[in-house]
């Protein structure tokens, strides 16, 4: 490699040979031939495995790792994850069915999400998975259904903590939330769980997502475990599990620094000592989605046309926001920034130009890259969007304009 290419755009997890990106040990051009069409998503199973290994190396061995599968629910990915993690967290019955198709035992699958319907709850009770209950109404419904089905439901309480994960871009706990039960109401709920004879598993305390600040995550872990220990005093039986959430972010944009896992691990070693004394029977779980899979995935689309409009170069591609809403900047981002992108089949080129990369949808929001300098593209070249393994295809409005849904592969 010479150093013409801006370093922050090169994702070193995917090597380059003969100026072509290598994915799963294969040149991208060959992979595109194998898939047979563009656009597509590709996820590298080796990179996912390495990510889990990295976590296991940096974190205390007692920490359980759960995969929050809404980040990437492709069945092959979930199957792969099931062999690597200690539990799967689902957020719908559709996800539950995918998780149940893997070898993961039902008692290691948990179901969170507000507003679960009676039918969903009875599917989950019959499956024997753990219900992370998000309200008192849900608790009564679960007890009722359990009696009707003749099965004792396994339940945990999803707690809305009285603090939030500082610096996370998606806040999901603290203050008034549609998620979970306000922590001050949990003791009364625990009494009622006892009266109803539900099988008490523990607590689920999740405060936010996509944080790159180790200190903020450490602070959240400390407060979360304190809250868990305090609530456990009122529990009908010893909590078997406290799920302390996740929120580990990945770098997307220039200037983003990868998370300092070592310091998060050291902090957890320290906190666990205390937990082991106070709650010897309680296991601690982290639930992560994005951090496991985001960096292992790419989205690939093809240049269909070069269009120059009053001096500005647009690369028209067969991709777009209907496949990758997050890269277009429309998935909750406050300020639009470019995802890291390269020409996968010709990474380096002496001829370079500033381009905007767009799709075929009839909206100016259909913008994958806004004015970025890259190797001069030709028709047929492959555009690769990195950091696309999480919240990609299934977080995008694929029905908009009714183009075909792109294939996903796990290589």
Ligand X SMILES: *Cc1c(COP(=O)(O)O)cnc(C)c1O
Residues that bind ligand X (CB under 6 A): 68, 70-71, 89, 91, 112, 206, 209-210, 245-247, 287-291, 390
Tokens of 96: 């539950």
> From the CB of 346, what's the least distance to ligand X, in Å?
33
> From the CB of 36, what's the least distance to ligand X, in Å?
30
Report helix, strand or coil for 161.
coil
Nearer to ligand X, 88 or 100 (CB): 88
Q: Are 161 and 223 in contact (CB under 8 A)?
A: yes
Nearer to ligand X, 158 or 302 (CB): 158
> From the CB of 204, what's the least distance to ligand X, in Å?
7
Q: Are 101 and 75 in contact (CB under 8 A)?
A: yes
Nearer to ligand X, 1 or 258 (CB): 258
Nearer to ligand X, 246 or 344 (CB): 246
Q: Among all residues, whose Cβ is closest to ligand X? A: 289
> From the CB of 211, what's the least distance to ligand X, in Å?
9
Nearer to ligand X, 92 or 363 (CB): 92
Q: Closest by alpha carbon to 385, among 255, 312, 307, 295?
A: 295
Mark residue 113 as left, alpha or beta (left: phi above 0; alpha: psi -120 to 50; beta: remaining): left
CA pair distance 335, 242, nearest whole angstrom: 35
Nearer to ligand X, 24 or 208 (CB): 208
Nearer to ligand X, 259 or 275 (CB): 259
> From the CB of 220, what's the least distance to ligand X, in Å?
13
> From the CB of 244, what's the least distance to ligand X, in Å?
10
Nearer to ligand X, 77 or 374 (CB): 77
Report helix, strand or coil for 289.
coil
Tokens of 177: 């939330």
> CB-based burial of residue 163 (10 Å sphere; 0-12 exposed, 13-18 middle, 19+ buried)?
middle
The CA–CA distances, whole Å, from 81 to 75, 204, 233, 298, 393 equal 10, 21, 34, 18, 18
Provide the β-strand partners of residue 382: 302
Nearer to ligand X, 40 or 291 (CB): 291
Q: Closest by alpha carbon to 291, among 339, 249, 340?
A: 249
Q: Closest by alpha carbon to 264, among 242, 280, 246, 251?
A: 246
Mark residue 368 as left, alpha or beta (left: phi above 0; alpha: psi -120 to 50; beta: remaining): alpha
> From the CB of 203, what's the least distance to ligand X, in Å?
12
The CA–CA distances, whole Å, from 55 to 17, 287, 288, 388 equal 29, 12, 11, 20
Nearer to ligand X, 112 or 190 (CB): 112
> From the CB of 267, what's the least distance to ligand X, in Å?
18
Exposure pattern of 222-247 as b/e (b: 16+ CB <10 Å)? bbbbebbbebbeebbeebbbbbbbbb
> From the CB of 324, what's the least distance to ligand X, in Å?
16
Report helix, strand or coil for 329.
coil
Q: Closest by alpha carbon to 231, among 205, 270, 208?
A: 205
> From the CB of 87, what's the least distance to ligand X, in Å?
12
> From the CB of 158, what's the least distance to ligand X, in Å?
7
Nearer to ligand X, 203 or 206 (CB): 206
Angle between helices 118-127 and 93-100 (to 10 degrees): 20
Query: Residue for token digits 């429309």?
Result: 330
């Amino acid at each position: 490699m010479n150093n013409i290419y801006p370093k922050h755009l090169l994702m070193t997890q995917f090597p380059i040979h003969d100026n072509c990106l290598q994915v799963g040990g294969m040149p991208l051009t060959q992979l595109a031939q194998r898939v047979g069409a563009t656009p597509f998503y590709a996820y590298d199973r080796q990179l996912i495995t390495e990510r889990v290994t990295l976590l296991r190396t940096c974190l205390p061995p007692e920490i359980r790792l759960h995969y929050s599968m809404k980040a990437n629910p492709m069945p092959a990915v979930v199957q792969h994850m099931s062999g690597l993690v200690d539990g799967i967290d689902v957020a719908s019955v559709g996800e539950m069915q995918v998780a149940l198709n893997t070898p993961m035992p039902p008692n290691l699958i948990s179901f969170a999400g507000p507003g679960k319907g009676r039918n969903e709850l009875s599917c989950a009770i019959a499956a024997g998975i753990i219900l992370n209950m998000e309200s008192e109404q849900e608790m009564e419904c679960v007890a009722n259904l359990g009696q009707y089905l003749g099965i004792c439901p396994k339940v945990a309480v999803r707690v809305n903590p009285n603090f939030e994960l500082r610096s996370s871009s998606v806040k999901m706990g603290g203050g008034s939330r549609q998620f979970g039960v306000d922590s001050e109401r949990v003791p009364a709920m625990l009494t009622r769980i006892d009266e109803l004879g539900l099988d008490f598993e523990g607590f689920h305390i999740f405060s936010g997502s996509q944080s790159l600040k180790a200190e903020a995550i450490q602070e959240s872990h400390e407060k979360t475990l304190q809250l868990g220990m305090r609530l456990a005093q009122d529990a009908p039986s010893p909590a078997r599990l406290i799920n302390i959430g996740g929120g580990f972010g990945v770098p997307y944009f220039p200037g983003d620094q990868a998370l300092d896992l070592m310091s998060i691990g050291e902090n957890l070693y320290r906190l666990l000592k205390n937990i082991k004394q106070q709650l010897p029977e309680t296991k601690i779980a982290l639930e992560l989605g994005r951090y496991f899979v985001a960096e292992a995935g790419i989205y690939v689309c093809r240049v269909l046309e070069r269009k120059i409009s009053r001096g500005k170069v647009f690369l028209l591609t067969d991709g777009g926001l209907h496949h990758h809403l997050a890269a277009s900047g429309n998935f909750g981002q406050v300020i639009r920034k470019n995802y890291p992108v390269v020409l996968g089949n010709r990474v380096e080129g002496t001829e370079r130009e500033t381009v905007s990369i767009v799709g075929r949808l009839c909206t100016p929001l259909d913008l994958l890259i806004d004015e970025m300098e890259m190797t001069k593209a030709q028709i047929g070249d492959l555009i690769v969007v990195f950091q696309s393994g999480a919240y990609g295809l299934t977080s995008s409005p694929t029905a908009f304009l009714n183009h075909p849904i792109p294939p996903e592969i796990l290589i």
